[in-house]
Structure 1
Amino acid sequence: MAIIGTALKFMIFDKPKSIGVIIGIVISIFLIGQQLGTLRYLTSLMSGLIVNSNSTDQDIWILDNSTNNVNTLSKIDGRIAREVKSIEGVQESYSVVIANASITFDGSKTSPVNLVGSDGPFFVAGPNVSKIIQGSLNDLYQRDAISAEYFNSKNLGVELHAGQMLELNNKAATIKVLTKNAQAFGGFYMYTSLDNARFYSGFPNDKISIVVVKAIPGVATNVLVNRINKTFYGVKAWPVSELKKSTLSEILVTSNIGVSFGSLVLFAMISGFFIIGLTLYSSALDRLVDYGTLKAIGATNGFVTRLILTQAFLFAIIGFLIAIALLILFKNAVAGAGLIINLDWQLSLLLLAVTLVISVGGSLFAVVKISRLEPASIF
């Protein structure tokens, strides 16, 4: 505890540089947290078709074998949904249709959307029941019923609500269900029944986009996936978790989103490391007499090193707490616009580790300088 008290005295004595170090930590960690939180949000949108569905991680999705991305689907034979039930280990299968359409509101506001259709009462393709804020899944049974997303109101320029009428591919439709946080990556999802999706989009009756398979409890998912892939030609069965990973990998590579966010995080870490390191080094130069005096009265290099590292640790904790507070304010500010930043314990722990690396690592410049200091040279 004595060394903590001494470290605090050093920090308080040189207030301008202490404030500079803390500000450097806060800026670096806030930027890193902002970028990582936004990237996590975007990656959740990339697999939004899965995340927003009522499917579970134990389910199997069958797609056309030409794609590794759930957002780029081709039509497959609708008979597969029936035939797959004959495979040992399959409990049930569900057909899903994903179709392009165009919606038009009063005032000629038009926008492209993705219609997502599946059969009730389960509506395996979604919307997920936890994301419904108006209406219910049963309302999608109605012939003209579709869903809409609360956070799409701003982009569409229309205040969306249940009961609102619109034109869907020049046919009358009614919003019966309003969702919140059931968003898509680079587009809009509107959920409906399988028949409605075909009716509004003109999707062929003998074709579907996805087959969702539920396994009998106790049947290994990988075993069932292999059975399906050996049975059917032209399609590929995916465990849901692997399909998510494949989708994220393909989008991050082809769009360079990962490189963009990664470079920003890397530069924030590097700049923070050197700004903090040079500030601590400058502070150590200003305090050479104090450190030299400590060594002259018997303090070892080990003690002085611990003193500098303790200061760095305290700077890290203070800066981290301020940065987290600012990130929470940022999270709450952008939540109303639909940008959902998840500051869970994993991200917080990662940010704490980065803070310690930046602060403690940067202090090594000062440690090297002071460890080489000869007490006699200051007198």
Structure 2
Amino acid sequence: MFSIAIRFIRYDVAKSFGALAGIIISVFLIGQQAGVFIFLTDAMRSIVDNNKGYIWVTDETTTNANQLSPLDVRKGYEISSLPGVERAYPVVVAAVGAKFANGTTGGLSLIGSEAPAFVGGPWRLYTAKNEDMIPDGALITDYYDSKAQGNLKPGDYFEVNGKKVYNAGLTRGARSFGGGLLGFTTIERARYLGNVPTTQVSFYLVKPKKGVAESSVIQQINQSINGVRAWNADELSQTTVKTVLATNGIAASFGSLIGFAIISGLVIIGLTLYSAAIDRIKDYGTLKAIGATNGYVTRLILTQALLFAILGFIIGRLLVEGFRIGIAKSGTLFYFPGWFEYALFAITLIISLGGCVFAIRRINSLEPATVFRG
């Protein structure tokens, strides 16, 4: 069976290449779009996912960690007074404008956290340490944002809202969604640079006392303090992504592109294999004339499709990996979860095997006697 399938594939190299190319293109487009979608959803929940291990306390209306309403600092005192709470760490997020030495301007989302623990940021430290934010004017920026920030290097000075600061070090791959580039500093400096009142914070990260269940503290906060909502980090992460996807067309856009890749793959494979089957109809008729059953012929065509699927998946997946590595150099970082590899291969099989349905139906309807007609 396998050797015969190879012979049929080699019979018309051009059509075989066309079928293979259709699968490769579909795999690449699906992987490419899925990868960018994974990057965007990771960015949506980045601030939450990089601050797990704490209870999040936000304004009661918040369902998106990228859009935070200010909290009164007195809420922090109330939280800290609860019996199950060890400490509540305040974090300030401030949107600011930056101007760099070469004249480049841009937006910056400053995340200010409290020394010396600096709970809430920074994360993915590269050339910097937390304590590098302590000196006057110190900010930590991201390695991948250097080009957008006028080729900013560690030690370089620039302006934030007209105030002089300097780049104290780098993170690598700290991303945000919809809030500009990220910068990290102390909570006092974030307030100063972002003109945030000393009476306000963006959210609290709460650490329960040892031996106290997180769910118990969340319940205490939600039942006893008005105007706030306590979240498990995983729950807020998922809610953030759902809220963002529900309020824009990202999911529909990527979903339609992936759907188009699948449909186009099915059409290309279907037309190519059907055309190839018609070209070799006498060969199939000969097989049936010497005793081959419809089941045998079906398996023969499916074997060809399976070979196309396996080879197309390998080549397409290698191209996707090349794409992933290539755009990672600009800071678009993503990694495919294990289940995605299986799902992508399953889709490849569906495209390839589904595309040969018309060819199978045409050959199965073939009468062996047609081989002997002039």
Same fold at TM > 0.5 = yes
Q: How far off is 1:344 after superposition?
A: 4.4
Q: Is the CA contact 1:148–1:190 (under 8 Å) kept in the aligned structure 2?
A: yes
SS of alignment partner, residue 132 of structure 1: coil
> Which runs of 5 or more residues in structure 1 are unaligned?
none
- CA–CA separation in structure 2 for the residues paired with 1:268 and 1:19: 18
Match of 2:331 among 338, 362, 367: 338
User: How many pairs are equivalent?
Assistant: 371
Instruction: Find the counterpart in structure 2 of residue 67 from structure 1.
Output: 62
SS of alignment partner, residue 199 of structure 1: helix
Letter of the 2:320 partner, please give it. L
Q: Is the CA contact 2:100–2:152 (under 8 Å) kept in the aligned structure 1?
A: no
Alignment map for 1:210-359 (pairs within 5 Å)? 210-359=203-352
* Poorly superposed stretches of 4+, deviation over 6 Å: none
Alignment map for 1:1-379 (pairs within 5 Å)? 3-51=1-49, 53=50, 55-56=51-52, 58-128=53-123, 131-156=124-149, 158-186=150-178, 187-379=180-372
Cα shift readout 1:98-145 (whole Å, capped 9, x = no counterpart): 1122222224332221111111333221111xx222121111122321
Q: How far off is 1:9 after superposition?
A: 1.2
Identity of aligned residues (%): 42
- CA–CA separation in structure 2 for the residues paired with 1:344 and 1:49: 20
Q: Is the CA contact 2:78–2:225 (under 8 Å) kept in the aligned structure 1?
A: no
- CA–CA separation in structure 1 for the residues paired with 2:192 and 2:146: 25
Q: How far off is 1:299 after superposition?
A: 1.3
TM-score by length of 1: 0.93
SS of alignment partner, residue 134 of structure 1: coil
SS of alignment partner, residue 135 of structure 1: coil
- CA–CA separation in structure 1 for the residues paired with 2:314 and 2:211: 46
Letter of the 2:143 partner, please give it. Y
Q: How far off is 1:155 after superposition?
A: 2.1
- CA–CA separation in structure 1 for the residues paired with 2:213 and 2:117: 23
- CA–CA separation in structure 1 for the residues paired with 2:274 and 2:70: 63
Q: Is the CA contact 1:137–1:177 (under 8 Å) kept in the aligned structure 2?
A: no
Letter of the 1:29 partner, please give it. V
- CA–CA separation in structure 1 for the residues paired with 2:211 and 2:283: 70
Letter of the 1:284 partner, please give it. A
Q: Is the CA contact 2:140–2:169 (under 8 Å) kept in the aligned structure 1?
A: yes
User: Does 283-292 or 88-97 show the bigger shift?
Assistant: 88-97
Q: Is the CA contact 1:116–1:190 (under 8 Å) kept in the aligned structure 2?
A: yes
Q: How far off is 1:151 after superposition?
A: 1.4
Cα shift readout 1:193-235 (whole Å, capped 9, x = no counterpart): 1111112222111211101112345544333322211111111
Q: Is the CA contact 1:276–1:359 (under 8 Å) kept in the aligned structure 2?
A: yes
Note closer, same or farther for the CA distance 1:374–1:184 as it changes in structure 2 (3 Å cut). same
User: Does 176-185 or 20-29 show the bigger shift?
Assistant: 176-185
SS of alignment partner, residue 96 of structure 1: strand
- CA–CA separation in structure 2 for the residues paired with 1:141 and 1:350: 47
User: Does 12-21 or 102-111 show the bigger shift?
Assistant: 102-111
RMSD, aligned α-carbons: 1.6
Letter of the 2:278 partner, please give it. L
Q: Is the CA contact 2:23–2:348 (under 8 Å) kept in the aligned structure 1?
A: yes
SS of alignment partner, residue 237 of structure 2: helix
Q: Is the CA contact 1:61–1:237 (under 8 Å) kept in the aligned structure 2?
A: yes
SS of alignment partner, residue 361 of structure 2: helix
Note closer, same or farther for the CA distance 1:5–1:220 as it changes in structure 2 (3 Å cut). farther
- CA–CA separation in structure 1 for the residues paired with 2:133 and 2:107: 20
Letter of the 2:189 partner, please give it. N
Q: Is the CA contact 2:24–2:312 (under 8 Å) kept in the aligned structure 1?
A: yes
Note closer, same or farther for the CA distance 1:35–1:375 as it changes in structure 2 (3 Å cut). same
